[in-house]
Amino acid sequence: MGKHVVVIGAGPAGLETSASLAKLGFHVTLVEKEDVSGGHLKKWHALFPTLLSGKDALETITKGLDSSIKIQTATKVTGLEAVNDYFTISGHNGWQEKADAVVLTTGFQLFDSHRKEEYGYGIYENVITSADLEELFASGKAFVNRHGNKPERVGFVHCVGSRDEKVNNLHCSKVCCITAVKQAIEVKQLLPDAEVFCFYMDLRMFGRHYEELYKEAQEKYNIQFIRGRLSESTEDRDGNIVVKVEDTLLGKPLRIKVGLLVLMAGMEPAPDTKPLANMLGLKNVSDGFIQPLDEVLHTNSTEIPGVFVAGTCSGPKSVSDTLADARSAALAVADYLKS
Amino acid sequence: MEKKAKYFGYSITRDRQIDYDANNHDICKIIAKAEPTLNLCISCGTCAATCTAGQFTDFSLRQVILLLRRGETKSLENEVSKCMLCGKCQLVCPRNVSTRNLVIQIGKALYDKKLSAETVNTK
Amino acid sequence: MKLEGKRLIWQDYQKEIADDHYFYARSCIRQTFFPGAEAVFVKILKDELGKDIHDEQHHTSCTGIGYHSDVVPFDTTMTVVARQFALMTEAGYENYAASCVTSFGLYTEILDTWHHFPEKEAQIREYLFKATGREFTKPKNLAHASDIVYKFRHQIAAKAKYKLVDKNTGKPLKVVEHIGCHYSKMFPHKGIGGAEYPYVLSGMIEAWGGEVIDYPERRHCCGFGFRQYLVQANRGFSLSCSKKKFESMEPYEPDMIITNCPGCPMFLDRWQYALSEMEGKTYGENHNGIPVFTYEEVAGMIMGYDPWEIGLQVHQVPAEPLLDKIGIPYDSSRKFKGKNGEDLGMPESPSYLKFYSE
Ligand SMILES: Cc1cc2nc3c(=O)[nH]c(=O)nc-3n(C[C@H](O)[C@H](O)[C@H](O)COP(=O)(O)OP(=O)(O)OC[C@H]3O[C@@H](n4cnc5c(N)ncnc54)[C@H](O)[C@@H]3O)c2cc1C
Ligand code: SF4
Ligand code: SF4
Ligand code: SF4
């Protein structure tokens, strides 16, 4: 066949798309702006719902890569142009290639929790994000808060930067409810005496075995779920975080002190996604994620023939959803290049 | 001559069910028109968590919105007057509900229509 | 707490504050609550900083309290405020400086309303003209008086005789800052430092040598809440709000509270008395309360102005323990003497709160 495909972004989506395309016989270049591939998966200690090690998962995904795939790391794609029946893709460092098709797998960026000023991230030491917590788990260090104490209570705040029009994000990030449940369990495993609370608006346990994990969190770990969204957090003298929510089911405002507060930061489109989409003339969608040709039927094609999407650059997804999406993108590319 | 109610040592228990069919829903319609963001509320309670009035009185804007949507006009009237219109809730609402105007519109509609007298109170 | 984190946020909430030529509109209640505060502001601006400030005599209440208590309709309020703007225009000024936080919030709200609804502005201009024959230009710069003191905080520090430092220990005084709700909660970008971590008073405290305390109920309202206080039966809510704050700040052992609103110092000060009478509880050590000041009074204190000249004797929570800590001299025998030495009469001594007289 000899057709050439450039895949932009070497997270789970880019890796799996490239592997599948190579298996289908295409020449693939996988471009990644960072020095190492793996995307966000590099940072996750254990994955829901099975607690599979993030490292192992990444290794398995990477093993699938054929040696014919050219991996161009440390190259941030900054130019994308459709020329007649091919595309020119160029990087910030002068790298340039032509391709018969392009797959955008630029992924997501973690919501910057500093933007929720009232939650005190970056100000109160013991307010951290879910990503910081994964890092803490992965480090294998003793589980202590930023004041060196074993927290007696840990709180998880759902929907930080998601479902919040005050930061211009209406969408649900899908993975953070189950991540909170997973991390709450992991905290209880490390600190069996700690009390753990999740503050939520809705618990979105949509995936296979998510509800079971939620039940396990209640049954085995006695994790408390309080239905209310945080209005603010502050710090007490000992560096504990004092949070305010309404216990909506009781209809009363509630105040509670926790030794560590974890913000479940949501997903936003990766910063380069929009400029790249604009260069190709793809329609902008209000939430900033790339709009596939059809959200039900053609989830990997776009309005522009030869341009495909996979993974979280077209909306929040779990790793398993991302991988399935990547494989299906490879088939869509094959379909296009064969015709 | 006025008849005296007979007392048998027990009373008729008042039904606490929300009688959705008997309740008056006009007021909700009027307000949804005047302040359409009413319909965007997801009952998250952030407004009630930050509300100063709710710290010391039995008051929650989230519940006010629900009373309105269920047609519980009598309770609504009691509740809504506790709001001080400070607008703190507007600062935090994740759905950009125009909370302050909502309260103003509820007050207006209750006043205009004097609906309260005709409505069944189920609270 | 990481101060750098706050500094990052503060960078996002800076505002333009005029450098000179202010049209000053006093508050309708501050002169009875804290009679020296506004005089100190005018004195510092004029005499210490050499600024031109027009102390307008003909302006009225902005109607803010009536507006927020639901008794004055917004159109009336806007027309009254339009008249204040007309007075400014007639006096030849374009930088409006409001003494009151509620007025400042209201002016901001009105200017924002007019920005979004120019037809409303036109209508108000017409009302004003019909009623008074006056016309106006909108302020080029709108500042709260605390913004102006914030702007010149370093100049004030350079001229100051005293610092917010305990003279015995050499340690900075622990200061609670309390910002009026209408300063930046409605329009965060119009207040220095924004709504969540306002910097306007913190900046002064830092510049004058003190240490700012961040306690859990820092953001909570002082309790004035207009309707909470104005109806006597509701005053318990007002009191309870203040109590919530005192209980939250008490463990930090604050030396003083500084505020920038007419209502907050009034309630944080007077309610300490009420709470002590009702519950026998005081929030400072040795039956002292936590002294409460306006930022102007604090500026005057560190400048070395006579404490009784700037009205500290009308505080319910005595200022003496703090004056002693800083080392500011005062003549106890003159505490209850008026401007011309006449006897003002001795107030009744509270049951629990320590009272200071000769
Ligand atoms: C806190 C948190 C915990 C999570 N935990 C789990 C879990 O336990 N289980 C699970 O299934 N899912 C989890 N997820 C979701 C998971 O991270 C995503 O499903 C997955 O990372 C999506 O992969 P992706 O390739 O689409 O995007 P990414 O992982 O974001 O990868 C995108 C890649 O593209 C690169 N890139 C971007 N722009 C350019 C450019 N211009 N040029 C070159 N390269 C570029 C980026 O550097 C990056 O390497 C979690 C998510 C969060 C936020
Ligand atoms: S998955 Fe849960 S926490 Fe995440 S945005 Fe959706 S509802 Fe909120
Ligand atoms: S406007 Fe009313 S409901 Fe909203 S915070 Fe203020 S008092 Fe509470
Ligand atoms: S904060 Fe907004 S969405 Fe949440 S309960 Fe209040 S009005 Fe509804």
* Tally of CB atoms within 10 A around C319: 25
Q: Which residue has the tokens 């009623």?
A: C131
Please spell the DSSP secondary structure of C287-352, one letter per residue: G----EEEHHHHHHHHHT--TTTTTGGG-SS-SHHHHHHHT----GGGTTB-TTS-B--PPPPPSS
Q: Could you tell me the end-to-end alpha-carbon distance of chain B, in angstroms, rounded to an integer? A: 33
Q: Dump pLDDT digits (tens) for C197-251.
A: 999 999 999 999 999 999 999 999 998 877 778 888 888 889 999 999 999 999 9
Averaged pLDDT for residues C273-301: 96
Query: Across chain B, what does the average pLDDT equal?
Result: 87
Tokens at residue C161, please? 């005789």
Report the DSSP pairing between strands C22-25 and C95-98. parallel
Residues of A with CB under 8 A from a CB of B: 118, 159, 163-166, 201-202, 227-232, 244-248, 251-254
Q: Are C301 and C294 in contact (CB under 8 A)?
A: no
Domain ranges of chain B: 26-122
Low-confidence ranges of chain A (pLDDT < 70): 1, 284
Please report the pLDDT score of residue B123 as a whole number.
42
pLDDT-above-70 percentage for chain B: 91
> From the list A164, A165, A245, which residue is nearest B49 (CB)?
A245
Q: Dump pLDDT digits (tens) for A68-89.
A: 999 999 999 999 999 988 999 9
Tokens at residue A70, please? 């050219």
- Which atom of ligand 3 approaches the CA of B84 most closely? 7
Helix (H, G, I), strand (E, B) or coil at C273: helix
| Contact flag B91-C195 (C-beta cutoff 8 Å) | yes
Q: Are A261 and A152 in contact (CB under 8 A)?
A: no
Query: Across chain A, what does the average pLDDT equal?
Result: 96
pLDDT higher than threshold 80 for residue B46: yes
pLDDT higher than threshold 60 for residue B122: no
Please report the pLDDT score of residue B57 as a whole number.
86
* Tally of CB atoms within 10 A around C243: 20
Window A:236-265, CB contacts with C under 8 Å: 236-237, 242
Q: Are C299 and C328 in contact (CB under 8 A)?
A: no
Fold of C20-145: Glutathione S-transferase Yfyf (Class Pi); Chain A, domain 2 (1.20.1050)
**Could you tell which of A173, A312, A321 is best to mutate to test the pocket of ligand 2, judged by most ligand atoms within 8 Å of the CB?**
A173
Which residues, 6+ apart, have CB-to-CB distance to C294 below 8 Å? C30, C34, C37, C258, C259, C260, C265
Number of H helices, E strands in chain A: 7, 20
Q: Which residue has the tokens 């209406």?
A: A170
Averaged pLDDT for residues C120-138: 98
Q: Dump pLDDT digits (tens) for C60-69.
A: 999 998 998 8
Structure-model confidence comparison of residues A323 and B1, the more confident one = A323
Task: Give the amino acid at A113.
Answer: S
Q: Which residues pair with C53 in a beta bridge?
A: C22
Tokens at residue C249, please? 């700040």
Q: Which of B105-114, C19-28, C346-355 has the lowest mean pLDDT?
A: B105-114
pLDDT higher than threshold 80 for residue C297: yes
Q: For the whole model, what pTM was predicted?
A: 0.91
- CATH 1.20.1050.140 residue ranges for chain C: 20-145
Helix (H, G, I), strand (E, B) or coil at C45: helix
Q: Which chains touch C (3 or more CB pairs under 8 A)?
A: A, B
Q: What are phi and psi of A147, to 5 degrees?
A: -105, 10
Please report the pLDDT score of residue B95 as a whole number.
95
CATH of C153-334, one of 1.20.120.530, 3.40.50.11810, 3.40.50.300, 3.30.70.100: 3.40.50.11810
Averaged pLDDT for residues B39-52: 94
Cis upstream peptide for C188 (omega within 30°): no
Q: What angle do CA C212, C213, C215 make, to 5 degrees?
A: 150
Which residues, 6+ apart, have CB-to-CB distance to B25 below 8 Å? B71
Residue A197 burial by Cβ neighbours in a 10 Å radius (0-12, 13-18, 19+): buried
Averaged pLDDT for residues B40-54: 93
Please report the pLDDT score of residue B117 as a whole number.
56
Query: Which residues of chain A lie closer than 8 angstroms to B42, CB-CB?
Result: 163, 201-202
Q: Are A83 and A102 in contact (CB under 8 A)?
A: no
- CATH 3.40.50.11810 residue ranges for chain C: 153-334
Please report the pLDDT score of residue B39 as a whole number.
93
Report the DSSP pairing between strands A86-91 and C292-294. unpaired
Q: Which chains touch B (3 or more CB pairs under 8 A)?
A: A, C
Averaged pLDDT for residues C9-19: 95
- Which atom of ligand 1 approaches the CA of A131 most closely? 1
Averaged pLDDT for residues C137-151: 98
pLDDT band at B82, cuts 50/70/90?
Answer: confident
User: DSSP secondary-structure letter at A228?
Assistant: -
pLDDT higher than threshold 60 for residue B45: yes
Q: Which domains does chain A have, with CATH numbers?
A: 4-107+270-338 (3.50.50.60), 113-266 (3.50.50.60)
Helix (H, G, I), strand (E, B) or coil at A86: strand
pLDDT band at B3, cuts 50/70/90?
Answer: confident
- Cα separations (Å) of C259 from C159, C181, C189? 22, 11, 19
Distance CA C331, CA C358 (A): 9
Please spell the DSSP secondary structure of A5-53, one letter per residue: EEEE--SHHHHHHHHHHHHTT-EEEEE-SSSS--GGGGG-SEETTTTEE
**Could you tell which of A116, A156, A176, A202 is best to mutate to test the pocket of ligand 2, judged by most ligand atoms within 8 Å of the CB?**
A176
Query: Across chain C, what does the average pLDDT equal?
Result: 95
- Which atom of ligand 1 approaches the CA of A267 most closely? 53
Q: Are C294 and C260 in contact (CB under 8 A)?
A: yes
CA of B41 from ligand 4 middle (Å) equals: 5
Interface contact B86, partner C, CB < 8 A = yes
Q: Does domain B26-122 correspond to CATH entry 1.10.3660.10?
A: no
Distance CA A19, CA C152 (A): 64
